Amino acid sequence: MEIGAYSFGDTQRNSDGSLRSTTEAIANLFEAIKHADAQGLDYFGVGEHHTATMPASSPGAMIAAAAAATGQITLGSAASIIGTDDPVRIFQQFAIADAISGGGRVEITAGRGSSVETFPLFGHSLEEYDELYAEKLDLLMTINNATSENVTWSGTVRPALEDLAVVPRPASGKLPIWLATGGNASSSARAGQLGLPVSYGIIGGAPHRFAPLAELYRRSGAAAGHAPETLKVSVGALGFVAPTKKEALERFYPGWHNLNVEMGRLRGWPAPDKRAYLAQADAPGAYYVGSPDEVAERIAHLHGHLGHMRHFLQMDIGGIPQEQLLESITLLATEVKPRVARLLAQK
């Protein structure tokens, strides 16, 4: 089981609640990735967002910078919003990051995007949501599966490629491409049919309810003729680790509250309710907030339902202080990760 973290960038706040600079947020993210590598985490993902509170707008740029400053950790997008970006540029950016990393440490996770700010930002219509995603995923896979630099592809959402070079190629010839979903059955089936690993973003409810989706994914993959070992599942969720459950709850709550206030303004989420927070932070809720023992036990328990090979946590939300984030990363790597390994070995 790989253990990791992911981030959309997290803008710190002043004592009066006002936002500090997005420049600082990106510098903090870079520091967090380097720290995760030094502490021994397996994976760090950077998710594409375009807001003042979550400013990691270019995962490819962040991953390339991190690739030069780390030595072991796998780096990936979590996710890249491919419907409103150009798959040619996404592939090129991540192939360059792969070369910088020494090869074999860089992945792309292709997502639709749970937020819609990229559509007006890049001049697209929400009416094209499904068509843009389907065609651009096909183009990204066509480039990745090409046996040479030259690629031919045609569709309706961008100009065709006629035997054009898309360079550089990844060190191993191809990049791992994951398909991100928040729990959509058709996305699970699509990932299986395409033979792509699937990454479930679980931000609410009981995580074990995703078990039927993972089963559908594997059935769809098997029916399409894909080998079982290629049909991988990962889980991204909110979480925070501290020496005790009480400390973890107290440290994570202010950021959770700020995030929910922001999402209420942007997406109409209900006003934050601490009772809901506490309920989600206890089993079988979706938040992995607690001591190393509790977080490890809950990850191992979910593995019994999903059989996933990677579990990664978003721990920096709503302006959580950087020093607390770094401590949580340390505990995730040095305390949670070995505990999960021991628990799974006992099964």
Query: Over the stretch 113-159, which tens digit does the pLDDT of each residue have?
Result: 877 889 999 999 999 999 999 999 999 999 999 999 999 999 999 99
Residue of 26, 21, 4 whose CA lies nearest to 78: 4
Mean pLDDT of 246-274: 93
* Domain segments of the chain as ranges: 2-345
The per-residue pLDDT for 265 is 86
Q: 224 φ, ψ to 5°?
A: -85, 0
pLDDT category of residue 12 using cuts at 50, 70 and 90: very high
Residue in the structure block whose two tokens are 């590598």: 37
At 320, which helix (H) or strand (E)? none
Residue in the structure block whose two tokens are 């938040």: 287
How far is it, in rounded angstroms, from Cα 161 to Cα 88? 10
The per-residue pLDDT for 114 is 75
CATH class of segment(s) 2-345: alpha beta
The per-residue pLDDT for 312 is 99
pTM flag (> 0.85):
yes
How far is it, in rounded angstroms, from Cα 331 to Cα 266? 33
The per-residue pLDDT for 268 is 85
What percent of the chain has a predicted confidence (pLDDT) above 70?
A: 100
Joined tokens for residue 346: 């006992």
Joined tokens for residue 143: 């480039």
Q: What is the mean pLDDT of the chain?
A: 97
Mean pLDDT of 81-106: 98
pLDDT category of residue 347 using cuts at 50, 70 and 90: confident
State the alpha helices, DSSP H only, in the chain.
Answer: 22-39, 59-69, 87-101, 118-121, 129-145, 185-194, 211-223, 245-267, 274-280, 292-306, 322-331, 337-345
How far is it, in rounded angstroms, from Cα 192 to Cα 186? 10
The per-residue pLDDT for 345 is 98
pLDDT tens for each residue of 196-250 = 999 999 999 999 999 999 999 999 999 999 999 999 999 999 999 999 999 999 9
Residue in the structure block whose two tokens are 């769809």: 220
The per-residue pLDDT for 212 is 98
Establish whether the linkage from the previous residue to 254 is cis, with ω within 30° of 0. no
